[in-house]
Structure formats: structure tokens, C-alpha cells
Structure 1
Amino acid sequence: MIRLRTSVPCVRHFPAGSTPLLLALLVLLCIIYVFNVLPSRTLSANSDSLEDERQPNFQAPANFANVRVHKPQEIIEDEHVRKTENLKETKRLPQRVAMGPCPPVYGKVTVFVAMIKSSYERFYHVAQDSLKCYLKSVNYTLLLVDLDSDERVNKECGHTQLFFKKHCAAAAYLRDTDWMLVLDADTGVVNPNHCIEEWIDPRADLVFYERFFNWEIASGNYLVKNTPWATKFLKKWADWQYEQPSNWNGADNGVLQIHVLQSVMPEARNEIKICDQVWHKGTGYDTYMAYVTCCKLALGATRLWPGKVRLLRRAHGWVRDGYLSGDKWCQRDFMLHGWKLNQTEIQGWQSPYKQMFKVEECGSGESGWHWREDYRVSEDEIRKSLANFEKGAGANFPKEARIHPYLSEGDIGDCWPHCDDFV
């Protein structure tokens, strides 16, 4: 006899003395139960239910001029919807080991540094020589672009403000590579035992990080993928030179906050309008930070908008400000920002290096790297430095910036009853 172990009530036992007709009726009821009731219970308990599949985590594509409302059939074809299917497949690559090779798993990587020759020669030798020493040990391409004299840039970028012209120049050269690491000239390599690919997220077209002391999305250093969307983002960012408010606005860094918000959440029209109003009221750094707070609150806790932007938390990018730890570093660090001097020990500043680089010595292992040993510290010591600085940054955050935009500006008075029409 076959014993059935099941939770189906009707087959746990048959009543003793059941007639054949009654038994047949019970069997029929069991068949109906198994094929109709159980499947619905199974689906409702499964996180990958049909209802979940029916409502994909869809991000509307950015349109920089107007918000376009999708028709139902268009949602299926949206490239950003398709990219959400691979969200769980990507993990950060492991750290480079013993100055070994950096495999081109994401294709050709170009390091892009925009500069003006006169200031480049006066201020950035330490940072740039450390970068050149690092690049001799890897297969990346260095692109050093003079914004004043570069032929391609002058042909494609008519911008007069250098910060904005830099992003147009990056867009102009993006087509020659697969990924581009855009760096400020005062960003140097402190620990060459890393690959740029460690911070590339193939789920996004641009990778930004937050500045540690004020939570801004940093504009000076970023990763960008060669895609039409990313190219358009950079060009529009540059063209903000002609649209930026005339008050204290933060230049390209200020523009970036609302540009990201518009690009990844174009349907958030009310929030964008409120933050823009706060931005235009800025009279100095403290009131400008109210605008940064507004944009950060509007973006919320999301860190990845597939096919668009990845936003890294403070101190989790490939670079951080050196002064946060007195230019000391640990194995997790890669680059430090803020090196604006031509000597390793000058004007009271001691760099992490005992002497200037001789780039011809670089390329094999740690050859050419002359660190001050007391500047190489443990991960725990860096964590403590960051934690202490974090407490101070929070305590000293400007009072004018401690706002909630919905309380100070309102969010439905100007648009009711149509505030949700574009969601």
C-alpha cells in the first residue's frame, strides 16, 4: 500500500466503511483541491510571484527638455527596465594583488585629466607624477587634455568657464574608449595596488561619490561609460553654464545635484521645482547647502538607478580627501584628493612620500614608490579618523541647511490638483 504524506485534508484518511460512491466523490474533490487551490497558495508565498513580475522596478528614461509619459507597450522596451534584470549578478571585483595585472574585464579604460598648462606646471607635480607612476604598471590610457589648446575640445566645446568645459571635453573624448575615469589634476595615487575596475559598476553609465564633509555629489572625479545616455548627460551638464543661477550657486558642483535629480527622477517635477527655488535663494555657502540637502532628500535612499547613475557613499569611492586622515592611508585607499603642491614637503605639508617620483623607475612592482612608513596605517585607524571627522561634520553642518523642503516650501500649493499627473 502506498502512503501519502501530504497536507491536503481530504486524503489524510478516508472514513471507515465508505461506500464506493462516497470514495469516488472524495477522490474528485481531492483532484480539484490539488490542481486549483495549492498552486495559488504556492505563488502567494513566493517572492518571485506573478504579481511581482507584472510590476517591474522600472525607471523612466530621462528627457532633459520635457517629461515624456510612457505608453504601456513602451515600458517593455525601455532599456533601463531590461538592465534591472541583472541587478543581482554584479559584485565588486576583488582588490589587485601584489601589483598584478588589471584584466580589461570592462574593455578599454582611459584616465582623463583636464588642465590648463600654466597651473598644471605650477601646482600638481606630486599628484600627477604619482598618477604617471601608477599608470606604468597597468594598461590604461592617460589622456591629458589642455582645455585652452586642445583642437577637438575647441571644436566641440565653446564654453568659457573651465569647470563646465571640462565635462564637455570628457564627452568629446568618451567615444574613443569603453570607460573613462575623469580626475581632477590634484588627485594623486597613494596606493597603486588597486585596479580602476574595482569601482566600475556595469549596471550604471556613471559612477559618482559623495564628498565626505558635506554630502554633495562630487563633480571633480567620476567614472563614465561610453553610451549615448552618458554622453548626453555630460553635454547637458556642461551646457548648464548658460542656465545656472547668477547667485552663489556652487558652479558645476552645484549644477550636478539638480542635474542628477532631473536625470534619474524626471517625474519628480514638484521636488525638482522646490530644490531649484531653494538653489536660487542661496547667498553663500550655508544657504547653498540647504539646496544640497533638498536634492539629497529628494533622491532618497536609492544608490543605483540602472542604466543611469550609481552613487557611492562617502569614503567608499576610489578617492577621498587626504586631509580627512592627515594624508595617512591604508590598504583600502587608492587615491587622495587635494594635492596642490609641487614638492613632497613644502609649506608645512608632508605628502605620504619621502621624495619626488622618478617616473622612469616605475612599472615593476613597488619600484619608484617611496612612502613615509608612518603614513601607512591600519584600516582601523583610518576608520577611527573618518568616524571622528563624521561627528564634527554633522555637528558643524550649517543651521541654514538643516531644512525639510516640504515644510519650508510646500509641495502641492502650486500644482494641485495635477501634482501627480506625470508619475
Structure 2
Amino acid sequence: MSLSCYFRNCVQMSTIFNNANLKSGSRHCYILLLIFVVIYIFIGVLWYKRDSLVMQSISSIALYGQSEKPLNIAIVVITNDGGTKGYSYAIDTVKCYCKIQGYDFVLAGNVQNSSCNHSDHYFRRHCHVANILVTGKYDYLLFIDADIGVVNPNRRIEEFIDPKFDIEFYDRFVNQEIMMGSYIVKNSDWSINFLRNFANYQYRLPIGKGLQHGTDNGGIHAYIAEILYEKTRHIELTNCKKIYNQSRSWTDLFVFESCIRDMMGVNTDFGHILIFKKGEGWARDNWLTNNMINLNRDFMIHAWKDKQLTKYGKDLPLKIGYKHRARWFNPLVGRIDLAKCNPKNTSWNYNPNLITTKEVIDAELERMYAAIEMEKIDRLSKMMEFIRRVDSKSR
């Protein structure tokens, strides 16, 4: 019964009751009417809130690419010969993950050809990624080093995609580097030009006997800084490059990278570029937590080279220190059976000795972060030594 109909019936009943000198009946009728109005308003508010929440959910989903048309996403791994030798454990997990989640897996050879003729194979990789984008087959690519493996097949790449940005990186945890071994890139003209121009940065690296430029690891910092600050903060950028141009060790290179990251500050949004903070990206180094993982926190793990896989026979794994950080324990029991990889089979077998709580992982990373921040301060304090050295030679 509608509210108006109920009101008319109450009025009619009130008239009858009044004619019968039953005034109490009239009062009861109006009390019932008041209760009905309150309930009607309450239900209306709940219905509005429900619709509002639904619309918010739809807006949120559409914002991150989960619209009616699913995104075409591929994971790209580039090896020297297009094979899996030396990285079979890591690559098998990625292949299985792609089958489970419905992504394409692209394993390409890092061949030197007329399109990508770079002599430095690290830079050449990014030229090949640009060429995959040009095919137009994919909306997004997740490029990863061959030694990055998946530990949680239930996570989705879309969790990290923000359509506002053309390319997304994450911070290496152990130093001030932007991780160049993995990024999420959108298929756009800007992204393609960014990758091609970066590949060509090989020809602009510091030249000199014994210099350590770090190939693409070092080059990405100079390249991004030029895009962001060439016109607006030229003096600061020049000072950082003075360090880069005389870098003779990884220690020197880290000073240069710290200089650039100091310019960039704590920001994560750089227009077309997003850089996830330490510990917030899709992958991290395995040794940071002695190969311990948490499935609610971790997605991908970096540094799984076949020849450095370490086995142990005790109940708990041996401690892998910084000196031996290339070694790793496999959190999975046995090899991945690719024939069984499908969307209905997401339960992998894990070594219980290598599974821990999120709180343990966070505490270990927090401890590591504090030590790395102190190293950053030490590196920044060495900047003047490099700058004075260059300035004294130019006089």
C-alpha cells in the first residue's frame, strides 16, 4: 500500500470513529501513520546508500581498468636466446601464473637487429619491449627480469595499474635505485617514445676507462632526471652528473643515484611516471627477509637464478646474509607442473618453513629500511667530494 492510500484510509477511518464518538481510534490511526512514515523514510535512506555504494564500486573498478572490456595484459621476459636456461624455476611460475589469470606470456630473445641495434643488451631489452607495444595487441605489459618468480598466483596485475600513468616503476629496497628490471607500461605513444629514447641512452653514457655507469640501472636515473628537471633545475642536475661522469665503482654509482633521488624527493607521482615506494611494489628481493614470504603480502620475488638455488636439510633454513644474498631457498615444494595450471587450480604447495606472518615480514623490512636510510645519508655526504674534484680540474 502506498503512503497516500494509507493516509486516505486513515482519514476515512477517523471520520467513522469520530461519528461513533470513538476518538481513541482516531489517535491510534495517526500514531500508526507516524510509525509508517518513519519506516518509509528509513527504508528509503538504506536504499539510497546501497545504490551509492554500488555506483562507487563501479566507478572504482572502471578507474583501474576493470571496465566492461577487460584489459589485454601480457608479462614479458626477455632472455639472450629466448629460452629459459638458467631461469627455469622462476619462468615456470610466471608461465603457470599467466595460465591461471588469463594473461599472455611473452618470452622473447634479446636479438640485435636493425630495429634494436644496441650493443648493450640491457638497454636493447627496452627497445624490444617498445616493439611489442607497437604491435597493438596489448593494453599493458608487465616487463620482468628472467629471475623474477611468482609466489602468490591469486594476486592480479591490475592491483598495481593506475590509468593516470604511462609507466610504473618501484623502488629497490636495498639502495636508492629505481628498479629497472621490472615495470608496468601502458600502450601509448608516450610510453613507446620513452622506452625507445631510453634504449638510445646507451649512446650517452659516461665514457672513460674504468668508469662504472651501471648500464640501464644507472642510466634510468639520469634519463628520468633530464625529462623532469633539464629546464627547471639544471644546476642541481649538472652537479649530480658530475658524480656520474666520474663513477668508478658501484659505491660511486650509488652516490650519483642518491643525488638524483634527493632531487626527486619523496614524491611518487611524476606526471606520466609513477614510482612505488619501497616495499609497495609487486616484487622484492628474496634475501631481504631470508627468503621468508607471506602470501597476504608478497606477489613476486626477485633473484631466482637456477644455479644459485640452495637446499637445506634442517627444519629451518640457514641464514642467508648480505654477503651470500645471491643464494635462495625455494618457497615452493617441487617443480611447477604446467599441465595442471588453470584458473581452477590456484593452490600451490609451499614449504611451511618459509611461510611467516605479515608482521614478521614488515618488521624485518622496517629494520632494513632504517639501515638503508643511514646509508643514504652517508652517500649524500660524499657528494661534495666528487663535485669539488671536478670543479678543481676545470680551473
TM-score (norm 1): 0.67
- Equivalent in 234, 253, 274 of residue 310 of structure 1: 274
Q: Does structure 1 residue 199 correspond to structure 2 residue 160?
A: yes
Alignment map for 1:121-132 (pairs within 5 Å):
121-132=84-95
Residue 166 (str. 1) matches residue 125 (str. 2): yes
Would you say 1:327 and 2:291 are equivalent positions? yes
Measured at CA, do residues 227 and 405 of structure 1 come closer, stay the same or move farther in structure 2, by a change above 3 Å? farther
How far apart, CA to CA, are the structure 1 residues paired with 2:177 and 2:283? 14
The residue aligned with 1:32 is none
Aligned to 2:367: 388
Tell me the C-alpha RMSD between the 2 structures: 3.0
Tell me the amino acid that sits aligned with residue 378 of structure 1: T
Q: Does 1:281 align with 2:246?
A: yes
Distance 1:106 1:303, change over 3 A: farther
> What residue identity is the alignment partner of 1:170?
V
* Structure-2 residue corresponding to 1:138: 101
Cα distance in structure 1, aligned partners of 2:251 and 2:96: 39
Distance 1:157 1:341, change over 3 A: same
Amino acid at match of 1:139: G
Q: How many residue pairs align between the two structures?
A: 310
Residue 54 (structure 2) aligns with: none
Instruction: Give 1:139 shift.
Output: 1.8
| Sequence identity percentage | 26
Q: Report if the CA contact (8 A) 1:92-1:198 is conserved.
A: no
Contact 1:116 1:146 in 2 (8 A): yes
Gaps of 5+ in 1: 1-88, 96-101, 411-423
Structure exhibiting the larger radius of gyration computed from Cα positions: 2
What SS is found at the alignment partner of 1:213?
coil
SS of alignment partner, residue 248 of structure 2: coil
Q: In structure 1, what is the equivalent of residue 331 of structure 2?
A: 352
Contact 2:258 2:376 survives alignment (8 Å) = no
Decide which structure has greater helix share.
2
Alignment of 1:409-420 (within 5 A): none
Match of 1:373 in 2: 352
What's the CA shift for 1:185?
0.2
Structure 1 370/91 Cα, relative in aligned 2: closer, same or farther at 3 Å?
A: same
Find the partner of 1:109 among 73, 78, 82: 73
- Equivalent residue number for residue 338 of structure 1: 303
The residue that corresponds to 1:57 in the other structure is none
CA distance in 1, matches of 2:357, 2:68: 30
Take 1:131 and 1:285, find their aligned partners in 2: how far apart are those partners?
30
Partners in 2 of 1:92 and 1:405 — Cα distance?
Answer: 49
TM-score (norm 2): 0.72
Which residue of the partner structure matches residue 225 of structure 1? Answer: 186
Moved more, 156-165 or 367-376: 367-376
CA drift at 1:184:
0.3
| Aligned equivalents of 1:362, 1:168: Cα separation in 2 | 31
Name the counterpart of 1:16. none
Runs of 4+ residues over 6 Å off in structure 1:
89-95, 102-106
- Relative distance call for 1:106 and 1:398 in structure 2 (3 A) is farther
Q: Are 1:215 and 1:314, in contact at CA under 8 Å, matched by a contact in 2?
A: no
Shift in Å, 1:147: 1.1
Q: Is the 8 A contact 2:283 2:298 kept in 1?
A: yes
